[in-house]
Amino acid sequence: MAEPGEGRLGLTILGGFLGAGKSTWARHQLHEGQFARHHLIVNEAAGTPVDNLLLGGAARLSVLAGGCACCEGLPALISLLRHVCDENTGAAGRQIDGILLETSGLADPGAIARAIAADPVLARHLRITTTLVLIDALHGLAQLSAEPLARAQAEAADRLILTKAMRAEPGAAGDLLATLRLLNPAADISGAELGLAVALPEPGTARLLAGPERQAPIRPWRLDVGAEGAWVALSTWLSALLAARGEDVVRVKGVVRTPAGRLLLQSVRRVVQPPEILPETELAGPAPEEGVIVLIGRNFDAAMLERSWRLFGPG
């Protein structure tokens, strides 16, 4: 007798807070030959997608930008998933082994899973094989305390991966591990550094999580920084912004043109990451908009960002 779920396409949901390392982890898995015959869907809350630049190894890639897939971007996700299911049934037969969905850092994977289960078409064609949530070992404890969303993400997982595991101070990482075990005792937990599996720290003490205060919503802001030449001004502006308003800046990412080529600039909380030169070859998904920075945070307004950039910007 056929098992329930047999024949349905497997869906892996890859979630985690802003900057937790979802694209980095997925890129490494693709490099290692994992998810080789999967359709990769990348969701970004901002309208200017960047993550697909890191996922050139994907055989099939769709980008859903400009709306988080658990809320305002949900109709687009449902319709794309139906389309992928359609393509993989019928005469042509199955072209892929499954779907890997990288959610935006603002998505609750539990809400996505519930929406899929409630959709009569998807419920017949898809089954969620794993909900994998990445937790940033450097910022995870603070996020779990301050952001209800980070907690909801951790609780929704059946697999948790502590990323940046080798960069974190072992005591703090051990406390984070103990806190995660308290929050989600059923989840399998492992560690990773740049996508590579590494040992977990010794478990420490679970930190009591204070109920988060009411906060303004986190949302993306777009800043046009112009064409070539803005690089030095941009790094000075970003350092000044993080010094002055670091608590409100959750994530910054963007692509700027420099004499050395296209540069991917990003920060997670106050940590500015080393810039990365992007290959000029054709990449999966839409071409990136150059000279555009996406800032994801709270309590900003577009005019204020413009003004502050003009203080530093070239010309």
Ligand X SMILES: Nc1nc2c(ncn2[C@@H]2O[C@H](COP(=O)(O)OP(=O)(O)OP(=O)(O)O)[C@@H](O)[C@H]2O)c(=O)[nH]1
| Residue 12 touches ligand X, criterion: CB under 6 A | no
Exactly one of 19, 67, 140, 288 binds ligand X (CB under 6 A); which one?
19
| Residue 108 touches ligand X, criterion: CB under 6 A | no
DSSP state of 51: G
Q: Which two tokens stand for residue 186?
A: 């059923």
Of 18 and 81, the one with the shorter C-beta distance to ligand X is: 18
- For the chain, what is the total number of helices (H) and then of strands (E)? 9, 14
Exactly one of 34, 89, 205, 273 binds ligand X (CB under 6 A); which one?
273
Q: How far is the CB of 201 from ligand X (least distance, A)?
A: 14
With contact defined as beta carbons under 8 Å apart, do 89 and 125 qualify?
Answer: yes
| Residue 141 touches ligand X, criterion: CB under 6 A | no
Q: Which residues pair with 272 in a beta bridge?
A: 267
To the nearest 10 degrees (0 to 180), the angle between helices 109-118 and 74-87 is 60
Q: How far is the CB of 294 from ligand X (least distance, A)?
A: 9
Of 8 and 164, the one with the shorter C-beta distance to ligand X is: 164
Of 122 and 135, the one with the shorter C-beta distance to ligand X is: 135
Total residues contacting ligand X by CB under 6 A comes to 21
The amino acid that residue 286 corresponds to is P
* β-pairing verdict for 159-163 and 98-102: unpaired
Q: How far is the CB of 95 from ligand X (least distance, A)?
A: 26
Q: Which two tokens stand for residue 70?
A: 């658990």
Question: What letters, b where the CB count within 10 A reaches 16 and e where it falls short, cover 53-92?
Answer: bbbbbbeebbbbbbbbbbeebbebbbebbeebbeebeeee
Exactly one of 49, 73, 98, 105 binds ligand X (CB under 6 A); which one?
105
The amino acid that residue 290 corresponds to is E
Q: Which residues pair with 14 in a beta bridge?
A: 102, 132
| Residue 268 touches ligand X, criterion: CB under 6 A | yes
| Residue 18 touches ligand X, criterion: CB under 6 A | yes
Element (H, E) at 176: helix 170-183
Q: How many CB atoms lie within 10 A of CB 29?
A: 19
CA 225 distance to own-chain centroid: 23
Of 85 and 293, the one with the shorter C-beta distance to ligand X is: 293
Which region, judged by CB under 6 A, interacts with ligand X, from 2-10, 18-26, 55-63, 149-157?
A: 18-26
| Residue 20 touches ligand X, criterion: CB under 6 A | yes
Which region, judged by CB under 6 A, interacts with ligand X, from 22-30, 33-41, 84-92, 168-176?
A: 22-30
Site for ligand X in 156-175 (CB under 6 A): 163-164, 167
Residues that bind ligand X (CB under 6 A): 16, 18-24, 51, 105, 163-164, 167, 192-194, 251, 253, 266, 268, 273
